[in-house]
A and B are shown apart, each in its own frame.
Chain A
């Protein structure tokens, strides 16, 4: 635990340095891509626990994200300005921001438990449809709430808090905050995956009846997976709202839920490494295809390439880029023949 704590401190320092480098040397457009990648990674790594480890096909991640986004954004506006009115943007204070993040994570996790519990009896496609329905209902309910701006949503959401020495950074401190949570979710998920609970989740996926007869409470494990994934989706939502400074219910349509599932399937369902790589690819691909599209004057090209890529993937590597493997020294050793052989037993 102490070691984990030190690792996390080191990673936070790394995030600070990363943000500094981006603010000083990299164009704002590319910084934006990097930040969007970070948000996608948080979503995908969280969903991987539900869809990858526990093997429950959830298509409702945007729903959890929206709950966190609106809870966090509303609380942040109230804590920073006291009213919902337009005016100049301010920075959130460190305390209120952390409080809002906790609130968004916990509210999304509570919804995760509420959705997880009744849908436990559903499997496969039925679960997918039920979770998709949940996300859509959440969006419609949010749209109907005047207190949080109805269809136009919340605006003037404060900027993420300043850090010491970061006063002159152009793009602000978003990268630090986003990547701090990228590091946190990866670290915690790695720990989870390698623990007795991670194995229990995989047992539920592999053979639910055998898991139950071996004493694994499948229902409890599934709810746990939903709570965990939803918690980080809520965090991602809160970060997203603060990053964009505005948030609408329509930011969280079914398309976004599907996008996160595509990230997992592309990277390899059940692989944390795959989730990270899939998140980066799915986020960046449209950004890089768009200039090509404009250059060739073929609008819609990016969608065609995107679809073709997924089709090819399903045909030739249905288990995703990484399968269920993780990027590790062992895998590197296998990919690079001869390397590290002397260290083997």
Chain B
């Protein structure tokens, strides 16, 4: 069986800067896969390449047996890849519930006239989105916040809301960009459990970028390490921890 997500030789250049160089990876369905590396290593750029925000300078992305290289984000979302953002991008004026319902829009099957005329189909779609959104809010522990505008949520809840919204698109793979950033240790602990449950209970494959080494090492089954846009290691957490190049990359950052 081939991998759920396969990136081959992805390269992204911004003018003279090569942010990502010949990035390859293969993520199996059901995996919890970590992508780590010092600041500016190119991790977020990899996410942007995978989810269609950027078109790679070269290389290919294959997802669920089809070539999605250079496809626009909505097409990739429809194929079943969703994501969160390192700098949170919620729909601030909408409520938490509406944010998640917006994620559910993708799998709706009504047309504009159903909405304008409030047909039965429209009512069923509203109910489907609402029920699904409440379920995900509850899953993320946000059911109390449903009616609150996203901009009024505390920081940690905003991060969780983004995950709920991404899950609402019914993805096969969810890409989380530093979901624990800015959280305190107990919040991080809770988040780690949630991420595990996303994989175990919702059966969504997880690709995780995270700075907290303890969290990544405890959570991920395989880890790939980037430094200056290049892959310097890939393997099980224990292998990564003892890899000389990884230690050097991180110590190098500590020195700087």
Contacts and interface: CB of A to CB of B under 8 A. Distances in A.
A120 interface: no
Contact of A214 (B105, B115, B118, B120): B105
Interface string B95-138: 00010011111101010100111111010011001000000000
Interface hub of B51, B90, B116, B126 (most chain A Cβ within 10 A): B116
A199 B112 contact: no
B105 A206 contact: no
Interface residues of B, number: 42
Contacts of A210: 85, 89-91
A207 B51 contact: no
Looking at A3, A210, A213, the one whose CB has the most chain B CB atoms below 10 A away is A213
Interface string B76-99: 111000110100011111100010
Contacts of A191: 115-118
B222 interface: no
Contacts of A270: 93
A4 B106 contact: no
Contacts of A188: 116
Interface residues of A, number: 29
A195 interface: yes
B77 A196 contact: no
A324 interface: yes
Contacts of B82: 213-214
Interface string A195-219: 1111110110011011111111110
B40 interface: no
A203 B53 contact: no
B106 to A, nearest CB: 3
B98 A195 contact: no
B115 A198 contact: yes
Given A188-B116, A213-B77, A215-B105, A202 B165 contact: no
Interface in B148-169: 165-166, 168-169
Given A199-B98, A213-B51, A224-B112, A1 B118 contact: yes
B54 to A, nearest CB: 11
A197 B74 contact: no
A197 B125 CA distance: 11
Contacts of B117: 1, 4, 191
A324 B93 contact: yes
Nearest to A270: B93
A3 B119 CA distance: 10
A224 B89 CA distance: 24
Contact of A196 (B53, B115, B119, B165): B115
Interface in A208-246: 209-218, 224
A209 B74 contact: no
B72 interface: yes
B116 A196 contact: no
B94 A214 contact: no
A13 interface: no
B93 A206 contact: yes
A200 B102 CA distance: 6
A192 interface: yes
A214 B112 contact: no
Contact of B169 (A4, A202, A215): A215
26 contacts: A1-B117, A1-B118, A1-B119, A1-B120, A4-B118, A196-B101, A196-B104, A196-B115, A196-B126, A196-B129, A198-B115, A200-B102, A202-B91, A202-B94, A203-B105, A206-B90, A207-B90, A210-B91, A212-B73, A213-B77, A214-B103, A214-B169, A215-B103, A216-B105, A224-B112, A324-B93
Given A212-B74, A215-B77, 18 more contacts: A1-B117, A3-B118, A195-B116, A197-B115, A199-B101, A206-B90, A206-B91, A206-B93, A207-B91, A209-B73, A212-B73, A213-B76, A213-B83, A215-B73, A215-B106, A216-B74, A224-B112, A270-B93
Interface of A: 1, 3-4, 188, 191-192, 195-200, 202-203, 206-207, 209-218, 224, 270, 324
Q: Which 9 pairs across A and B sit closest by C-beta, in order of nearness?
A: A215-B106, A195-B115, A215-B77, A210-B89, A206-B91, A212-B73, A213-B73, A1-B119, A207-B89
Interface of B: 51-53, 72-74, 76-78, 82-83, 85, 89-94, 98, 101-106, 108, 110, 112, 115-120, 122, 125-126, 129, 165-166, 168-169
